[in-house]
Amino acid sequence: MIAVYFRFLKDRIWSILLYIISTVAFLEMYVALFPTFGSVAMDKINVLLDSYPKEIWTVFGLDPANLNFAKISTFVASEQYSIIWPIIVIVLGISLANSMISGEVEKGTIEQTLALPLQRWKIFMGRYAASVTLLAFFAFTTVYAIVPLAKLHKINLEGMNNLPLAVSGLLFGITVFSTACLFSALFSEKSKASFSTAGIVIALYGINIVGGLKADMAYLKDYSFFHYLNGATNIVKGEYVENYLPYFLGVSAVFTILALARFIFRDTSV
């Protein structure tokens, strides 16, 4: 299983680096723009933002009480880590899951993998562990990249809380990845596996929006991945969303067990 782990890491490390480079490039753009925002009339901008309905900000995981765009933490929370970053994590999670199973089935190389003198569960768990390692590498690198970038642009990072975002983002990524693993094990084509996972993610995003806009349906947010990755709560306040850990771990465990069972018992020739 260790050999499977390191082989999967070796085969995917360059693609992960490309994800990291592109994500950090987005972050650099926002960090470079921040001094421009800071030099204009931020008080007027904040007044304008305060005039918007509070529900708009809660949909994007932002706390209206902490919307002070004179701080870099609020700026990147709204621009990078509430929109761009989650999308990249979702794409990365689906890509890793597809490369674990459905991608090999589609290419016809899965039989070579299964010919190894290893039980199927060891192959699955070795690749799963390697994928989690890559997700952790991506999450912590792209979150903490703001430290050198801020120093480069001479920006004060006071009030920036990186760890809660990195941990929540990693667990968010693992949950999406685990969900994608099930569909990767169910289907023999990457397109079907990808669209199925994307459908689940879009539905959960819609649930999060509805829960944020309608007070009488706020409970719906508790069932969505997106509710537990909150830029304002994680970065600005340095806190975790309530019940984030049991939710992420519970959902990940369920989908991982189902994916493992399917992989062990499926006929890989179809």
Mean per-residue pLDDT, 46-53: 57
Percentage of the chain lying above the pLDDT 90 cut: 51
CB of 34 closer than 8 Å to CB of 155? yes
Q: How many CA atoms lie within 13 A of 161 on its CB side?
A: 17
Q: How many CA atoms lie within 13 A of 61 on its CB side?
A: 32
pLDDT for the residue 55: 58
Mean per-residue pLDDT, 69-89: 83
CB of 150 closer than 8 Å to CB of 71? no
- Between 190 and 60, the more confident residue is 190
Mean per-residue pLDDT, 99-119: 83
User: Is it the case that residue 165 has pLDDT exceeding 50?
Assistant: yes
Instruction: At 245, list the tokens.
Output: 């850990």
Given the structure tokens 């369920």, which residue do they identify? 254
pTM as predicted: 0.88
Instruction: At 30, list the tokens.
Output: 């926002």
CB of 140 closer than 8 Å to CB of 168? no
pLDDT for the residue 103: 86
User: Is it the case that residue 41 has pLDDT exceeding 50?
Assistant: no
- Cα separation of 173 and 231, whole Å? 15
Mean per-residue pLDDT, 6-32: 92
Neighbours of 105 (CB within 10 A): 23
User: Is it the case that residue 205 has pLDDT exceeding 80?
Assistant: yes
Q: How many CA atoms lie within 13 A of 246 on its CB side?
A: 4
- Closest listed residue to residue 46, CA positions, set 17, 26, 75, 3: 75
Instruction: At 97, list the tokens.
Output: 């899951």
pLDDT for the residue 77: 81
- Mean pLDDT for all residues in the chain: 85
How far is it between the farthest Cα atoms of the chain? 67
CB of 164 closer than 8 Å to CB of 229? no
pLDDT for the residue 69: 62
DSSP for 24-54, written as a single string: HHHHHHHHHHHHHHHHS-HHHHHHHHHTS-H
